[in-house]
Amino acid sequence: MTDNAEAKVPAQDPAAAKAGNLNAEDPKDDLVTTRHVITTDGAQLRYTVTAGRVVLRQEGHTDDKFDGAEAKAEVFMVAYTLDDAGAGSRPVTFAFNGGPGSASVWLHLGLLGPRRVLMGDAGALLPPPYDLADNNETLLRHSDLVFIDPVSTGFSRVVKGGKSKDFHGYGGDVESVGELIRLWTTRNGRWMSPKYLCGESYGTTRAAALARYLQERSGMYLNGLILISAFLDGGSAEFVPGNDEPYVLYLPTYAAIAHYHGRHPGRPLREVLDDAEAYAGREYRWVLARGSRLTPGERSAAVTRIAGLTGLSEDYVDRVNLRPEHVRFLTELLRDERRTVGRLDGRFTGWDSDYGREHWTTDPSIDAIMGPYSAALNHYVRTELKYENDLSYETLTERVYPWSFKEFEGVNLQVVDKLAEAMRVNPHMRVLVACGYHDAATPYFAAEHDFAHLAIPAELAGNIEFAYYEAGHMMYAHEPSRLAQSERLAAFVRGSEEAR
């Protein structure tokens, strides 16, 4: 159980905080502090939580004169620090999800934090209003935690009169999250602590970019990156005309999802994956590159092979020209059962209103997780953390679109070069890559492909670890995977401590 014995400590007028500072001319941090305890491994874990919005400011100069620092945004964060633990040198992990447009609630209440949501799993979802429980495997046992909601997600907003679009893009997002990390580290005296970034999905894109940005902007070198469901190169995973690479790199994921839904009876998953990876890595790439130069016999053999791996009919594979796109695959796989399949997690299934359509109307896996996590966060932050704000907590918002990738005009979004440079500059930085076999948003084979093309010397290859789970994008929705992943994360963070 949590213990909220200490009342919140507001940093400004509570009425202004509750109103979201919408009328404040000069917004201030509205942080509140509570103290809690849970029992894990037979011992009490006592910790302090600081929740609220931190004002980000931008320095201004006119004609070489300093104009001061103008408030630009108020970024919501929740920080956990272990009591009486020598905080100055204790590891700290900064965590965020992706989207773009996602708050950090998923990593916060699904995997890392000391409290977690109870929602059930694929095929056995619990009904609302759901519940929270102590997370006995929390990473807080080994590292302090700071969860960050980028601008326009969670309770984070630009200041009154500000422009949200300044933060709705690759560059503005990296700079603002990087500034929050710098501020928290400085204000809490943590420059001598081992520091980690933990990102999920587009959060891995952000984390890889931040590793280099923090080096260049603040001289902050990290001990490690935790990349969950990695997305580092759009060319590997985005289906656009003329780019066959995603079809190749998604094929093993299709095979894994087909296996989960009984389309490979009697075969172990590892055998199916080995088969799919071998075909994708060699023959399938050649087949797609041949195009119309394939002989009728070669095309017929490819149709049969792809259908056998994916669980799709040979007729369908032939009609899509050997190239099943991922949402089309998820719509087609169980069409005969009048079910659709989840993109974030292919273990989840759902219904649609029309089973003749090309693309399902909604992702069943998002539908399954949105309610439990939204309810848990809104209850937890107000009831247990004592933070009050009348703004809507934006769990997963469309308001960040269009998202600007102006830095990549004419080329694919990719941060493989940023990550490689950060590792070359700081050869002590380690990277843990977590992959879900049933993740049809960021396929594991694409992550392997991207890291195989990382421009680092052979001596640094040992800094990279891969971990795999029989689950999806948010592998911690699967209880055996959550337990295994928690243990792996603890070992990863302890690794830097043991090396000191």
pLDDT one-digit tens code per residue, 443-471: 999 999 999 999 999 999 999 999 999 99
Domain boundaries, the chain: 14-235+369-499, 241-365
Specify the 3-state DSSP secondary structure of 251.
helix
Q: In this predicted structure, what is the pLDDT of residue 191?
A: 96
Q: In this predicted structure, what is the pLDDT of residue 229?
A: 97
Q: In this predicted structure, what is the pLDDT of residue 18?
A: 45
Q: Write the pLDDT tens digit of every residue in 261-287.
A: 999 999 999 999 999 999 999 999 999
Q: For the chain, how big is the Rg over CA atoms in Å?
A: 23
Distance CA 450, CA 447 (A): 5
Residues 6+ apart with CB under 8 A from 379: 132
Structure tokens at 405: 């990738």
Q: In this predicted structure, what is the pLDDT of residue 185?
A: 97
Q: In this predicted structure, what is the pLDDT of residue 9?
A: 46
Q: In this predicted structure, what is the pLDDT of residue 237?
A: 85
Q: Looking at the whole model, is its pTM more than 0.85?
A: yes
> Could you give phi then psi for residue 261, rounded to 5 degrees?
-95, 20
User: Which residue stretches of the chain have pLDDT < 50?
Assistant: 1-2, 4-24, 499-500
Closest C-alpha among 480, 463, 462, 459 to residue 471 = 480
- Angle at the Cα of 196 (from 194 to 201), degrees rounded to 5? 180
Q: Which residues pair with 71 in a beta bridge?
A: 57
**Long-range Cβ contacts of 480-488 (<8 Å, 24+ apart):** 481/436, 482/110, 482/111, 482/137, 483/137, 485/111, 485/434, 486/111, 486/137, 486/138, 486/139, 487/137, 488/432, 488/434
HEC string of 404-470 equals ECHHHCCCCCECHHHHHHHHHHCCCCEEEEEEECCCCCCCHHHHHHHHHCCCCCHHHHHHEEEEEEC
Q: Which residues pair with 115 in a beta bridge?
A: 134
Q: In this predicted structure, what is the pLDDT of residue 41?
A: 85
Q: Give the side-chain half-sphere CA count within 13 A for 474.
A: 27
Q: In this predicted structure, what is the pLDDT of residue 188?
A: 95
Alpha-helical segments (H) within 30-141: 105-107
476 neighbors 485 (Cβ within 8 angstroms): yes
CATH topology of domain 14-235+369-499: Rossmann fold (3.40.50)
